[in-house]
Structure 1
């Protein structure tokens, strides 16, 4: 795996292989790859080595809490797009985790994905992402195919939420649409949690339930409607994914954030979707 990774990721993006980037561990969760490094005291030249198109975005996370050097300061993390041209000047042996995310995995989040490099300040979201990634690599447990799928989705959604939170934090005086954007992001990130709803959303945003409801009313919808659609999208994805075929419909409903299969069936019907069994059988969605 290290040799393949060196060819496919490290050399094209950083211009160096496993040894020169201090690679110590690799974990793969479907399309998302996590690598852990003890960096040499030498710069990482992101994207400057080869003219060929680069294939992945990356989150560079300081697992040791000492920060990632960016400009004149150290940041909690740095997000690098596939097209970025950035130098990370390591001046110490740092414990670093890099989350490699293909652009297609963030395609649904294209509106918030930056075009170059984004330094990430300390926040609860970036701490959660760091803690989760640190737990995963190196790891002694080998997840099932269902587990790998779930971890992949969690990593992508946590990365998206972290980016959106960072963008919002840098422009606190934006128009009211920023509340709507942050709300949509959180509803997407928490869609698999059955207990999550408008009250929990407002609490996480530090605003009143009425403020959240008003933001959605301005665009002709409600937080509950958006959350239901998010859960329906997840349910459709799970019902059609071959790794989830062994699971009964009731468990699919739980994984998609519904209280039971009847609630999932009604949500699908409300969105004009086929029944769970027909979706699993491959009936197209119109």
Structure 2
């Protein structure tokens, strides 16, 4: 939930133990369906709720039933996400299936980015394993960016390329291959979604973070997957 204006208190029931937390403008509250709470807000408060898959929450380090992942001083990304959501709410015309699909994905990436920002405040204070988790989270949120590579990822995490590579090596992975695998997964999801059939193969490649259709075809082939047209056709035949 985004606290857009006003302030108040949220009382959370954690296994019978009541915990009270104050909130103000810019605070972001995350919780799953098992969380029991009571929200006490002032009259002038405006709160926007966004629902995203629980797996996305878990992938970005929020495994608790309730957690405060923002403060009263919203970041640039948090303000952008809040404004983006507000613009969608006031949108009077119906959204097309394509628009809805990409808006949903964009919102998930924005929320993931906010969580990543929050976790990033302690990346240098945690173990090296948490650096790896940070990197995996960033890749999951940004794989569709064709500019994402090992050097850029290291720069985003404020660590050296060599240090980043060491963390992945500990997990028997390379940064480049992990990014490529994430893009392959994104491409296969787009190709297998019948609502996305209006996209050309070149557009699928672009939205998946590949620089060209040839690069996407090569990556799919290296994974042992079929040609993009066959993946799309097989998905249609299974309906």
TM-score by length of 1: 0.69
Describe how 1:89-108 pairs up with structure 2 within 5 A.
89-101=40-52, 105-107=53-55
Instruction: Find the aligned partners of 2:199 and 2:76 in 1 and give their Cα distance.
Output: 33
Check if 1:209 corresponds to 2:161.
Answer: yes
Q: Judge conservation of contact 1:67–1:76 (CA < 8 Å) in 2.
A: no
Aligned mate of 2:27, from 58, 76, 82: 76
Q: Kindly state the Cα deviation for residue 109 of structure 1 after the two structures are TM-superposed.
A: 5.1
CA displacement 1:76-131 (0-9 Å, x = unmatched): 21112111112222124112211123xxx233553533331111224444334323
RMSD of equivalent CA atoms: 2.4
1:176-191 alignment runs, 5 A limit: 176-191=128-143
Structure 1: distance between partners of 2:227 and 2:55: 27
**Aligned mates of 1:262, 1:97 — CA distance in 2:** 42
Q: Which residue of 2 aligns with 1:21?
A: none
Give the 3-state SS of the residue equivalent to 1:110 in structure 2.
helix
Aligned to 1:282, the other structure's residue is in SS state helix
Decide which of 63, 66, 79 is 1:117's aligned counterpart. Answer: 66
Residues 1-286 of structure 1 mapped to structure 2, 5 A cutoff: 60-64=1-5, 69-70=9-10, 71-74=21-24, 76-101=27-52, 105-107=53-55, 110-111=58-59, 112-121=61-70, 122-140=74-92, 142-167=94-119, 169=121, 173-282=125-234
Q: 1:110 & 1:144 partners in 2: Cα distance? A: 29
**Structure 2 unaligned blocks of 5 or more:** 11-20
Counterpart-to-counterpart distance in 2, 1:61 and 1:184: 25
Q: 2:57–2:63: 8 Å Cα contact kept in structure 1?
A: no
Q: Tell me, which stretches of 5 or more residues in structure 1 are unaligned?
A: 1-59
CA contact (8 A) 2:131 2:167 kept: yes
Count of residues paired in the alignment: 221
* TM-score, normalisation: structure 2: 0.82
Which has a greater percent of helix?
2
For residues 67 and 274 of structure 1, what CA distance do their matches in structure 2 show? 54
